[in-house]
Amino acid sequence: MTASAGAIVVDKIVQQLPTPSHDYYVGRGKIQDLLALKDKKGFSVLILDDELTPKQQENLEKALDVKVIDRVALILDIFAKRARTHEGRLQVELAQHQYLLPRLAGQWSHLERLGGGIGTRGPGESQLETDRRLIRRKIQRLEEQNAEISRRRALYRQQRQRSRVPVVALVGYTNAGKSTLLNSLCKTNILADDRLFATLDPTTRRLNLPDNSTVLLSDTVGFIRKLPPTIVHAFRATLEELSEADLLLHVVDVSSPEAPEQCQAVEKILADLELTNKKRVTVLNKIDCLFPDEPLPGGEGLESVIATLGIAPDDSTVIISASKGWGLPRLLNVISGSLKAAITA
């Protein structure tokens, strides 16, 4: 994920603690290790794979004299690069301002170098409060604009419901191949890149099924483990598409060594969105990365691959390669049968 933000990783340190340090997140001994590593490698940015409190972030920056970025800031930076539509940029901007507001005090740490006394403390506090008011107003305006987006999407969904066209939504971990699958099924040419969060804005296309029925296939933002609540809230308008879908296609990258953990992360987010009871088809994608030739369902090696994912394979589990077109005819038949079962249930 760090590479997706354009950073070069010079080293990686892991520490196991019963609970994170209240002041620094890491232990004081690890602070000394980081200072020694800074002298050796000369890094200028420290990235932590977790969400920091404003106090932890400020203390780390003072102790190490480098810029400190936590997991939330890193994800937001990648989102800001990927957002292309007005809606996507609004959602990212809202999340960025909500993240920044409690951290504003640290932005004024340079005033401490002026010392105490008359003429130093007052102006700083005045400017800080001014900035806080400006950001709160900006957040309010962005929330109003996002609420308007939600209202428009709700109207679109009502129109779709009146037209009685079923909706199938693609969900899955980021870079699982959802956009590639949409392109292959619907013969479209939306962006499908081999990188994290290549798709932030929802895309919906018509899909014709083998029984001559038509559905709407919708691609949404990819999930990631420990997805910060701030981002979930900002992208609520987008994620609402999932709640209105008649069927979810959970796309899994079976070639990833972290596929089991990614499946668990998706399940947790679906549970947070109260979507665990939604009718679902599990799509095991990128099988071509494991098997050079198209494998037969139930072929040798496939069962062991599925077993590592913690998934109990059934009639609604489909093995495919979206890029090569393997297994797509069966997937279309499974979608058709699952929709009929969901509608009649």
> Same domain for 188 and 293?
yes
pLDDT at 320: 92
Please report which confidence band the pLDDT of residue 32 belongs to, taking 50, 70 and 90 as the band edges.
very high
Give yes or no for residue 69 having a pLDDT over 50. yes
Give yes or no for residue 238 having a pLDDT over 80. no
DSSP state of 297: T
Do the domain assignments include residue 81?
A: no
**CA–CA dist 108, 155 (Å, integer):** 44
Reported as a single tens digit per residue, the pLDDT across 202-226 is 678 899 999 999 999 988 777 877 7
Do the domain assignments include residue 36?
A: yes
- Minimal CA–CA distance to 185: which of 161, 202, 168? 168
Do the domain assignments include residue 226?
A: yes
pTM recorded for the entire structure: 0.73
* CATH code, domain with 251: 3.40.50.300
> Same domain for 65 and 172?
no
Place of tokens 């970025």: 69
**Among candidate residues 69, 89, 119, the one where a domain is terminated:** 69
pLDDT at 299: 55
- Region of poorest pLDDT, from 46-55, 120-129, 173-182, 313-322: 120-129
**CA–CA dist 340, 210 (Å, integer):** 13
pLDDT at 321: 93
Answer whether 109's CB lies under 8 Å from 68's CB.
no
> Same domain for 45 and 181?
no
**Among candidate residues 69, 101, 122, the one where a domain is terminated:** 69
Give yes or no for residue 100 having a pLDDT over 80. yes
Please tell me which of 74-78, 113-117, 258-262, 331-335 the model is most confident about, judged by mean pLDDT.
Answer: 331-335
Give yes or no for residue 331 having a pLDDT over 90. yes
**CA–CA dist 31, 21 (Å, integer):** 11
Give yes or no for residue 114 having a pLDDT over 50. no
Q: How far is CA 103 from CA 59, 120, 126, 131, 276, in A?
A: 12, 20, 16, 11, 35
67-69/214-219 β-pairing: unpaired
pLDDT at 313: 65
Give CB contacts under 8 A, 24+ apart, made by 56-59: 56/20, 56/21, 56/22, 56/23, 56/24, 56/25, 57/103, 57/106, 58/103, 58/105, 58/106, 58/109, 59/23, 59/24
pLDDT at 117: 41
**CA–CA dist 27, 23 (Å, integer):** 9
Do the domain assignments include residue 33?
A: yes
- Minimal CA–CA distance to 185: which of 283, 276, 256? 283
Q: Is 115 helix (H, G, I), strand (E, B) or coil?
A: coil
Do the domain assignments include residue 125?
A: no
**Arithmetic mean of pLDDT over the chain:** 80
pLDDT at 322: 93
**CA–CA dist 282, 101 (Å, integer):** 40
**Among candidate residues 29, 48, 69, the one where a domain is terminated:** 69
Do the domain assignments include residue 154?
A: no
Give yes or no for residue 338 having a pLDDT over 50. yes
Task: Work out the average pLDDT over 109-126.
Answer: 45
**CA–CA dist 283, 213 (Å, integer):** 21
> Same domain for 171 and 37?
no
168 torsion bin: left (phi>0), alpha (psi -120 to 50), beta (else): beta
Do the domain assignments include residue 82?
A: no
> Same domain for 207 and 325?
yes
Q: Is 282 helix (H, G, I), strand (E, B) or coil?
A: strand
Please report which confidence band the pLDDT of residue 305 belongs to, taking 50, 70 and 90 as the band edges.
confident
Total domains present in the chain = 2
> Same domain for 197 and 302?
yes
Give yes or no for residue 201 having a pLDDT over 60. yes
Q: Report phi then psi at 186, rounded to 5.
A: -100, 0
Reported as a single tens digit per residue, the pLDDT across 265-289 is 888 888 888 888 889 999 999 999 8
Answer whether 218's CB lies under 8 Å from 168's CB.
yes
Task: Work out the average pLDDT over 226-244.
Answer: 70
> Same domain for 51 and 186?
no
Give yes or no for residue 89 having a pLDDT over 90. no
Give yes or no for residue 79 having a pLDDT over 90. no
Task: Work out the average pLDDT over 160-186.
Answer: 86
Please report which confidence band the pLDDT of residue 185 belongs to, taking 50, 70 and 90 as the band edges.
very high
pLDDT at 190: 62
**Which of residues 74 and 221 earns the better pLDDT score?**
74
> Same domain for 226 and 335?
yes
> Same domain for 293 and 171?
yes
pLDDT at 207: 93
**CA–CA dist 143, 261 (Å, integer):** 33
pLDDT at 121: 44
Please report which confidence band the pLDDT of residue 16 belongs to, taking 50, 70 and 90 as the band edges.
confident
> Same domain for 61 and 184?
no
Domain encompassing residue 62: 3-69
Q: Which residue stretches of 164-258 are H helix?
A: 178-186, 229-234, 236-243
Residue 13, burial from CB neighbour count under 10 angstroms (0-12, 13-18, 19+): exposed
Give yes or no for residue 92 having a pLDDT over 50. yes
- Minimal CA–CA distance to 181: which of 134, 126, 251? 251
Q: How far is CA 200 from CA 64, 152, 227, 331, in A?
A: 34, 18, 14, 25
**Which of residues 176 and 232 earns the better pLDDT score?**
176
Do the domain assignments include residue 103?
A: no
